[in-house]
Amino acid sequence: METIKAYGATAADADLKPLDIKRRSLQEADVKIDILYCGVCHSDIHTVRNDWGGSSYPVVPGHEIIGRVVAIGDGVKNFKEGDLVGVGCMVDSCHDCTPCHNDLEQFCEKGATFTYNSKDAHIDNQRTYGGYSTTVTVDQQFVLRVPDNIDAAAAAPLLCAGITTYSPLSHWKVKEGDKVGVIGLGGLGHMGIKFAAAMGAKTYMITTSPDKAEDAKRLGADAVIISKNEDEMQQHKGTFDFLLNTVPVKHDINPYLELLKIDATMVMVGAIEPLEPMNGGNLIMGRKRVAGSLIGGIKETQEMLDFCGEHNIVSDIEMIDMQDINTAYERLTSNDVKYRFVIDMESLKK
């Protein structure tokens, strides 16, 4: 075991502070990574605050990790020292169930090992700690290659915000000319707009914030709908082929369902909690669907990163020092970030 520096929370109502944590020693299939950058996802806050229950303290968040390989186990063939790599929301799974065999490790029947707040299957009584730390040691099958033509810091959010939005757009086969709406312009939403535009869709940003309209267009939206404006929503009733809903809290999905065409789908990725009651008529009248999606498998995450390399897609980021994390959480909670905070991990090494 090795003791390293990290930042984490020791209780749901505590600020994040410097902590020492233990990482397992390098095992045969492991890649040890020196962390350069780590994105700040809204899920980090949900876990620190125990919004979903099940948080085990200390929580060291961070699942949008970019770093350099500094050591490899004897069994590692696909990575070498110096490689630029990424780690997303998962660091392990059983490798042996039907979802794992189908490249859907996020749905592993034994439970995927998430990058933080999971049980580490390699060591007794050890929890996983995320990327708000100096190094991480990960099974080679959960390490991703980062294309060398994209900015490394701005690539960090691809590991969660990127795959979470790419996967549903790809799975529901969004194609050229489809009318696609992305609901909520935050970390996930801004990636959703970029991907939908790159896939050739006619993209609409559906936002509660009129002041984000110009940005939405710069990010690739063809048009913007202010969801609080009922007249504007009515003009688009029954016209959307696909909606991607990234709203992070309990809300009323009925106004959005009305936007869908016959047979069209809205995919929920944000609110992992009970929603306001849904009117069945909004599904029945039009054979509409509501679905959900959880990040994406490792193979698809690599496909997404390669797509970003080809299309020059990265996140719009605001770089912060590790020491600024509590202010960043306040700002993210009050909808004040364009559009992802990324921690420069050099600040933790000082």
In the complex, the residues that contact Zn ion under the rule CB under 5 A are 41, 43, 93-94, 97, 100, 108, 160
Which of 16, 32, 33, 42 binds ligand NAP (CB under 6 A)? It is 42
Secondary structure of 10-64 as H, E, C letters: CCCCCCCEEEEEEECCCCCCEEEEEEEEEEECHHHHHHHCCCCCCCCCCECCCCC
Sequence-ordered list of residues with C-beta below 8 angstroms from that of 341, at least 6 positions apart, any chain: 39, 40, 317, 318, 319, 320, 328, 331, 332
Q: Is residue 208 near ligand NAP by the rule CB under 6 A?
A: yes
Which of 1, 11, 12, 249 binds ligand NAP (CB under 6 A)? It is 249
The minimum distance between CB 100 and Zn ion, in angstroms, equals: 3
Q: Is residue 88 near ligand NAP by the rule CB under 6 A?
A: no
CA 207, CA 303: separation in Å to the nearest integer? Answer: 29
Give the distance, in angstroms, between the CA of residue 30 and the centroid of all CA atoms in the same chain. 23
Which of 115, 117, 137, 246 binds ligand NAP (CB under 6 A)? It is 246
Residue 185: name the closest of 204, 206, 162 by CA: 206
Which of 33, 247, 313, 343 binds ligand NAP (CB under 6 A)? It is 247
The minimum distance between CB 164 and Zn ion, in angstroms, equals: 7
Cβ closest to Zn ion, residue 100 vs residue 185: 100
Q: Where are the beta strands (DSSP E) in 46-197?
A: 65-72, 84-87, 90-92, 113-114, 135-139, 144-145, 179-183
The minimum distance between CB 316 and Zn ion, in angstroms, equals: 16
Cβ closest to ligand NAP, residue 185 vs residue 328: 185
The DSSP code for 120 is -
CA atoms within 13 A on the CB side of 291: 17
Which of 31, 251, 320, 343 binds ligand NAP (CB under 6 A)? It is 251
The minimum distance between CB 46 and Zn ion, in angstroms, equals: 9
Residues in the interface with ligand NAP (CB under 6 A) total: 28
Q: Is residue 46 near ligand NAP by the rule CB under 6 A?
A: yes
3-state secondary structure of 174: coil
Binding residues for ligand NAP restricted to 128-187, rule: CB under 6 A? 160, 164, 184-187
Q: Which stretch binds ligand NAP (CB under 6 A): 42-50, 80-88, 118-126, 231-239?
A: 42-50
Q: From residue 184 to residue 203, what is the string marking binding to ligand NAP with x (rule CB under 6 A)?
A: xxxxxx--------------
Cβ closest to ligand NAP, residue 198 vs residue 216: 216
Sequence-ordered list of residues with C-beta below 8 angstroms from that of 72, at least 6 positions apart, any chain: 26, 30, 31, 32, 79, 80, 81, 140
Q: Is residue 127 near ligand NAP by the rule CB under 6 A?
A: no
Strand partners, 21: 4
Q: Is residue 23 near ligand NAP by the rule CB under 6 A?
A: no
Burial zone of 78 (CB within 10 Å; 0-12 exposed, 13-18 middle, 19+ buried):
exposed
CA 248, CA 186: separation in Å to the nearest integer? Answer: 10
Reading the block at residue 100, the tokens are 């794992």
Binding site for ligand NAP (CB under 6 A): 41-43, 46, 160, 164, 184-189, 207-209, 212, 246-249, 251, 269-270, 293-295, 332, 335
